[in-house]
Amino acid sequence: MAQSPTVDLPKRLPLVIIPSNRYEGTSKDAKLVNCYMEQGQDGETWIYKRPGLARSSQPSGGAATGRGIFNWNGNIYSIFGNTLYKDGVAVAGTVDTTNGVYRFDMCLGATPKLQLGNGVKGYNYDAGSGLVVISDVNFPAAFVKGWSYLDGTTYVMTSAAAIKGSNINDPTTWNALNTITAQIDPDGGVALSKQLNYVVAFKQWTTEIFYDAANATGSPLGTVPQARVNWGCVSADSVQNIDGALLWLSTTRSSSMVIVMMDQLKASRISTPPVERLLDDLDTTTIYSWQHKDQGHKFYIITSVVSNLTLVYDLDEQIWSQWTDSNGNYVPIVSSTYTSTQEHLVQHESDGYIYTLDEETYTDNTASIIVDIVTPNFDGNTRRRKLMNYMGFVADQVNGSTLQIRSSDDDYQTWTNWRTVDLSTPRPFLEECGTFTRRAHHFRHTSNTAFRLQAIDLQLDLGTL
């Protein structure tokens, strides 16, 4: 039975958890793992478990390296290994496998086409012609990842920052004169994208913007010098377009890596100092990025495979978190898209499966999703010793849901043994939680259930100085 309160109003443990790692690692200080925050209209903050993964389909080739997934005209196109699949059925022909995840785009015209490219080879696809490598002599032998379709022209860029365009709605034919160089600064090209009605050229330490100037000869594009951005791009594989906003892993000529978002042609740094401490040692050899939009949230997800780290940015709440697989490693997803019924699909890096990502799926293909909420050190605004008689949990009441709790009174160096509270009860609580001056708490949820936590009430008795 709960002990009678000894103060009029319990203190609430702050649950606005912002990553605050003091070093390059994540072993100390506050963090959110496999969860995200949402502030309600009443001002209360809830922590939600991230959506889970359920196998949706495996194209006919079996296990193979995932190289990209895209929705075109209601059909799901995916690349596994060296094969392009349409709704799980192999398309005749093979694709290059030497440069990671492909980028997709599409064009209109009498015969609309799907474009796919990895910077080594570019291809067009339509039902009549099938998969055809772009072999026009004026198409670059090597180019950076990313396509930009603007006013009928498909553009690509080379590593020398030369932007080359196709004929109008004909990405099989490329004109040698249709070339313009992003040369406000002398850095090389890294990736190409689009925002609004502008072509965005990501370079090594700057980003340049182009518009359709309708030039009668040469490239139709003209530069917008006043829109130039003093952030470049570290990896083309980090670039995502989320509802018109571009996000990417960036750097300048003289600084370390940051995450930047461009919206309405205005760029701003969205990574916080603690996140940038993680980026300082980030290995960019293999980068994955993808996106997820659901339940009123838009997420940008970026992974460094070698650094074994997946970071997630919530564009709506503007808060970072970390997602992992059931073993605490990076999330092995390389690309994402959606179906005509708004089902969210993601592609695994190696098992050959496409998965659905859904809020009502509480595991990753039956493996537990381990939610970790680590709080900052809490002292109740006083360094007097405190006796915690009671800890009450304001969470959704769900059958089969339990929460593990442990604490550290020595700045995350050692932890108590886990205690467990049953979240299926109307008023879950723990008693006899010990004495402390300041304390960090670690809450863990592993149950195959929904999980939503609003607040934690602490009944404290203050000791003497």
Report pLDDT for 424: 97
Rounded distance between C-alpha atoms, residue 385 and residue 365, angstroms: 45
Both structure tokens of 66: 């995932």
CATH architecture of 53-368: 7 Propeller (2.130)
Predicted TM-score (pTM) of this structure: 0.95
Rounded distance between C-alpha atoms, residue 374 and residue 442, angstroms: 4
% the chain with pLDDT above 90: 87
Report pLDDT for 383: 84
Contacts of the segment 111-115: beta carbons below 8 A, 24+ positions apart = 112/73, 113/171, 113/172, 114/70, 114/72, 114/77, 115/147, 115/154, 115/171
Both structure tokens of 14: 């702050």
Name the amino acid, one letter, at 62. G
Report pLDDT for 8: 57
3-state DSSP assignment of residue 273: helix
The answer to whether 68 and 102 have CB atoms below 8 angstroms apart is yes
Report pLDDT for 2: 46
The answer to whether 457 and 395 have CB atoms below 8 angstroms apart is no
SS (H, E, C) 181-244: ECCCCCCCEEEEEEECCEEEEEECCCEEEEEECCCCCCCCEEECHHHCECCCCCCHHHCEEECC
φ/ψ (deg, to 5) at 231: -130, 135
> In which element (H, E) is residue 113 found?
strand 113-117
Domain ranges of the chain: 11-17+375-462, 53-368
Report pLDDT for 5: 47
Residue-wise pLDDT for 67-81, tens only, equals 999 999 999 999 999
- In this prediction, the residues of the chain whose per-residue pLDDT falls under 70 are 1-9, 464-465
